[in-house]
Structure 1
C-alpha cells in the first residue's frame, strides 16, 4: 500500500538523516507546546535562541502563569507575531488555575486553548503522548502536494481538506514521533521551496518529480500588494534615557513598549507644537533616517525624530522613562529596538552614554 510505503520510507529516513538534537525534542507537553507556538511562522534557527532564553526564565507552566504579561512580552520581544505570546500566557493561566496544572492529553483539548490550532495540537500530543495524530503545516503541505502531484491552489479550502485526508490516511501504526518529525524535517531541509530532489528518499516515487513539476508545485502565492502606513515616531530623550509608551490598543504590538507616535509624516513645526502642548520643553530636535518594517499585510514606514527635552518628568500613566541600561530588559518591537540601539550607539560616541545591545 502507498500509505505503508510512504510512512516507512519517511521513518527510516528520519532516523538516519533527520534532526535529533533540537532543544525541545523530549516528551514533555510544556516543552513541546512552547516550541510549537514559537515555530509558527518562524524558522527553527531563529527559534532556538528565544526558546532557550524563555525556558530558563519560565521553566514550568506555573512560572509562566504567575508572570506578568509585561515580562512575558519582554522575553518574546523580537520574535514577532506577538499575539502568540499573549495567547501562550492566557493558556498557561487556564492550565494552572482551571486545570490544576494538568496538561491536556488529547488534540481536541489542546485546540480549546487560545492560539492552538489543529496542527499545533496534533504535534504536541503526538510528541508528548504518542497519540496517532497528524500535522499539516506549510512544509507538510508542500511535501504532500509534490508527492501526489496536486496542481491546485495551496490555500484553497478544498485543497486543504484533501491534504488533511491524505495526511490522516498516511499515518503509520507505530513510530508516530519519528514519522511526524520526519514530515517536519523533510519539508524543512529537503523538500524546500527549491527542492533538493537528488537527496530525497522519495525521488523514485514523487509524482511531481516524475512529471517534471517539482518546481511548479505548489503554485507560488500571489504577491501581496502591501498597503503602506506612515507614522511619525517621537524619540524623546534626556541624558541617559528615553520615553516609552505601553501599547494598549489593539494591534500587533499590543502589550509591548514603543515610542509615542502619530499617524502620517509630520513636519518639525507640527511636532514641536504637539509636544509643547503636552508640556514638553524642547532643547533640540532633529530628523532621523526613515525606514520601513514589513508585516504580513502591510508595510509600516517609520519617520523617527529625536527630540532632546529638558523636563523628563512630564509623563502620562501609560508612559515610563527608561534608562539606556534598562532597554535590553524591556519588551520592545524589533524595529523600535533597532532604532534605539542605533541612536544611542551614536549618542554614546558623542556624549559617553552607556550602550545597550540586542544581545541579551
Structure 2
C-alpha cells in the first residue's frame, strides 16, 4: 500500500524549513506588537522595503505604549517615505485604543482585533497565528496567487465570490500546529517562488498537483482585474524659502491623499496659486523659478506636480498664526512626516538644504 501524499501544509512547511525566511527583524523577538507593526507595514509593501523602516520605527517606539504616547507628527515622521500613510494614522489610533480598552496590550481576540482601525480579516489572522500560534487563515496577495494557481481558480481574486472561495480553501489547508511558521511559509512561498512573473515551477513542492501548471495556465492565473487607464491630474506645488532658508510647509487635510502630513502648498491653476500667494506671502509671484515636473502614481490616479520656487520671501502675519501653515528650519525637515515626492524634491536642492 503506497503512502498517503503529504498535505499542502506539510509540503509548504518542509519547504519553509530549508528555503523560508527565518531572520526577519520582527521574528526576533516575535511579540504581538512587533508582529502587528510588521503586518501593517507589509500591506502593499515588499519585505526588503519594510525592513529598514521597521528597525527605525521600533527603535523610536519600542513598545505599544511608546507608540500610543507619541504625537501623530512623530509617528508620521518615522513612516515618511513608506507610503500609504493611512496605515500610520490607523496604527497610531489603534495603539491608543489598546491603551484605553485592552490594558495597553494588543488583544488576543479576532473580533477585538478587527475592531481596531487598519486591521482586516487577513491581518488579524496573521497576527493571531504568528504572535500566539492560534489557528487562523490568511489571504494576502501572495496567498491568493498560490491558491488560485494550485486549485485553478479563475476570476479576479478580489471579486467577492472568488474571494469567498479562496477563504474556504485557505481555511481547509490549515495545519494543527506550527501556525507561525505556516503563516510565514505561505507569504514567503508566494513572494520568492510562486511569483507573479516567471514563477519557479521546476522547484515547486506543490507542482505535482498544481492545476495551473498541469493545465498550462500558470501565466493566466490569477486573473487580472478588469482594467481601465488611470486618470491624471496636475498640480502646482509652491516652494517658498525665506531669508533664513526656512521652507513654508502646509499640513494636509485630515482625510484624503497624504492626510495630516506636512507638505508644500498646492494649487490646481496659476490663478488659484496667485491668490494663495498674495494672501500669505510678500513678493513677486511671477519671479518664481519653475523646477522639473515630478510625476507620482497613486492607486487610483497619476499626479504630475509642477514646483514653483521662490527664495528669500517674507510672510504675512497669517503664516505665523496658523497651526496648519509654518516655516520649517532646514534641520527640522528630517524629523517631519513629508510625502516621499516632496522629500525628494527638497533633497534635490542642495543649496536649500545645506548639503
Task: Give TM-score, length-normalised by structure 2.
Answer: 0.92
1:65 aligns with 2:65: no
Map of 1:354 onto structure 2:
354
Correspondence list, 1:131-280, <5 A: 131-194=134-197, 195-239=199-243, 240-264=245-269, 266=270, 271-272=273-274, 274-280=276-282
On the 8 A contact 2:94/2:117 being kept in 1, the answer is yes
Offset, 1:3: 9.7
Offset, 1:103: 2.2
Cα 1:138–1:273, aligned 2, differ >3 Å: closer, same or farther? closer
Offset, 1:271: 4.5
Map of 2:19 onto structure 1:
17
1:7 aligns with 2:12: no
Map of 1:281 onto structure 2:
283
Q: Deviations over 1:294-327 (max 9, x none)?
A: 0000111111100124314651511111122221
Given candidates 50, 61, 83, the residue that maps to 1:47 is 50
On the 8 A contact 2:238/2:309 being kept in 1, the answer is yes
On the 8 A contact 2:281/2:315 being kept in 1, the answer is no
Offset, 1:162: 0.5
Cα 1:320–1:188, aligned 2, differ >3 Å: closer, same or farther? same
Cα 1:169–1:274, aligned 2, differ >3 Å: closer, same or farther? closer
Separation of aligned partners in 1, 2:89 and 2:5: 39
Map of 2:339 onto structure 1:
333
Q: Deviations over 1:248-276 (max 9, x none)?
A: 24212111100111124x27xx7556423
Offset, 1:277: 4.0
SS at match of 1:311: strand
Q: Deviations over 1:92-133 (max 9, x none)?
A: 001112222132112222111111000000010101111000
Unmatched runs of 5 consecutive residues or more in structure 2:
none
On the 8 A contact 2:237/2:305 being kept in 1, the answer is yes
On the 8 A contact 1:282/1:309 being kept in 2, the answer is no
On the 8 A contact 2:266/2:273 being kept in 1, the answer is no
SS at match of 1:243: strand
Separation of aligned partners in 1, 2:118 and 2:5: 31
Map of 1:358 onto structure 2:
none
Map of 1:124 onto structure 2:
127
Map of 2:108 onto structure 1:
105
On the 8 A contact 2:236/2:273 being kept in 1, the answer is no
SS at match of 1:303: strand
Separation of aligned partners in 1, 2:42 and 2:310: 38
Offset, 1:279: 4.4
Q: Deviations over 1:212-232 (max 9, x none)?
A: 111111122333421112111
Separation of aligned partners in 2, 1:241 and 1:139: 45
On the 8 A contact 2:279/2:316 being kept in 1, the answer is no
SS at match of 2:158: coil
SS at match of 1:328: helix
Name the Cα RMSD after superposition: 1.9
Map of 2:80 onto structure 1:
77
Given candidates 85, 92, 95, the residue that maps to 1:92 is 95
Separation of aligned partners in 2, 1:253 and 1:236: 20
Unmatched runs of 5 consecutive residues or more in structure 1:
356-360
On the 8 A contact 1:224/1:297 being kept in 2, the answer is no
